[in-house]
C-alpha cells in the first residue's frame, strides 16, 4: 500500500459481516399510498423514504426536447441523527445541493427518458435515520421507487415498454488505516483516511465516483483497489435488491 501513515483507530468489530460485505439491505415498495412510486429502504441502520412524482410539464431547459427530465431532492429529518439538527430550510445549502445533483445524475442514467417527453419526474429522498452512507442509500431507495413507479405505469396501461435501461446502485468504500472497508457506517466514515462513493450499474459499468483522501494523498494502486471493491459491492447489493424487488417487471 502507501507510505507509513497514522495507525487506524480502534473500531467496534463489524456485526456478522466481513470488511468487504455491505450492511444488511431491506426494502419495501408501495409504502406511500399517495405516490405512484415509493420505497422504504434500510441499509444497516440508515433508513431512506423515496417517492416518485410525475408532472405533465417539461423542465424549462427541456422544452422542445424529445426527452423528459428527472430531478431529485434530498432532505434529512431533524432527528435522523443522534443529536437534533435544525430542520433544513435553506434550499441552497451547499451539501444538500451537491447530493441532489449526484442523485439526479445517477437516477437519470437508469431511464430512457424518451418515454417521458414533455414530462418531469421528481424523486424525493428523505433520510429518516442516518448512520453513514445516506447518499448511496438514497440512490438505492430512489432506484427502488422508480421501479415501483414504472411497474405502476405498465400495469395501468400508461406505458407499454419498460423504461428502465440500467439497474443503478451505489455504495461507499474507504480506507481505515490499511483496512479497505465496504459500506462504511458513521463511526467508520468519521475516521476513514479516504473514502469514495461509487455509483455503478449491476453489470459493473461506472456512472460516477465521488470522494477522495482525508489524510494525505492516495497511491494509484489504493484508488484502483477502492474502485474495484466498490464496483463489485454495487453488483452484489443489486443482486440482493433484485431478489427483494423480484415482483417488479424488468429487474
Residue 142 assigned to a binding site: no
Q: Which residue has the cell 445524475?
A: 105
The CA–CA distances, whole Å, from 13 to 26, 96, 181, 226 equal: 22, 31, 12, 21
The CA–CA distances, whole Å, from 137 to 64, 119, 157 equal: 34, 26, 30
- Contact predicate 1/178, CB 8 Å: yes
Residue 219 assigned to a binding site: no
- Contact predicate 192/232, CB 8 Å: no
Residue 203 assigned to a binding site: no
Burial of 123 (0-12, 13-18, 19+ CB in 10 A): buried
What distance in Å separates the CA atoms of residue 72 and residue 76, rounded to the nearest whole number?
Answer: 14
Task: At 9, give phi and psi (nearest 5°).
Answer: -65, 155
Residue 193 assigned to a binding site: no
Tell me the torsion sign for CA atoms 51, 55, 60, 61.
positive
Residues annotated within a binding site: 95, 133-135
Binding residues for phosphate: 95, 133-135
Amino acid at each position: 500500500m502507501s507510505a507509513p501513515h497514522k495507525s487506524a483507530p480502534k473500531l467496534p468489530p463489524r456485526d456478522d459481516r466481513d470488511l468487504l460485505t455491505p450492511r444488511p439491505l431491506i426494502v419495501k415498495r408501495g409504502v406511500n399510498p399517495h405516490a405512484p412510486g415509493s420505497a422504504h429502504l434500510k441499509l444497516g441502520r440508515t433508513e431512506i423514504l423515496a417517492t416518485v412524482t410525475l408532472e405533465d410539464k417539461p423542465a424549462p431547459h427541456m422544452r422542445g426536447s424529445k426527452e423528459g427530465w428527472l430531478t431529485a431532492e434530498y432532505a434529512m429529518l431533524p432527528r435522523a441523527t443522534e443529536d437534533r439538527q435544525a430542520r433544513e430550510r435553506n434550499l441552497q445549502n451547499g451539501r444538500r445541493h451537491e447530493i441532489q445533483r449526484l442523485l439526479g445524475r445517477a437516477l437519470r442514467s437508469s431511464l430512457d427518458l424518451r418515454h417521458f417527453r414533455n414530462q418531469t419526474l421528481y424523486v424525493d429522498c428523505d433520510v429518516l435515520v442516518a448512520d453513514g452512507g445516506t447518499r448511496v442509500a438514497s440512490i438505492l431507495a430512489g432506484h427502488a421507487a422508480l421501479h415501483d413507479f414504472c411497474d405502476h405505469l405498465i400495469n395501468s396501461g400508461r406505458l407499454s415498454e419498460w423504461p428502465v435501461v440500467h439497474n443503478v446502485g451505489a455504495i461507499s468504500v474507504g480506507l481505515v488505516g490499511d483496512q479497505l472497508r465496504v459500506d462504511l457506517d458513521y463511526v467508520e466514515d468519521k475516521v476513514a483516511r479516504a473514502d469514495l462513493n461509487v455509483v455503478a450499474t449491476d453489470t459493473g459499468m461506472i456512472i460516477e465516483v465521488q470522494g477522495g483522501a482525508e489524510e494525505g494523498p492516495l497511491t494509484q494502486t489504493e484508488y484502483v483497489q477502492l474502485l474495484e471493491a466498490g464496483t463489485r459491492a454495487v453488483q452484489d447489493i443489486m443482486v440482493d435488491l433484485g431478489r427483494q424487488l423480484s415482483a417488479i417487471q424488468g429487474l
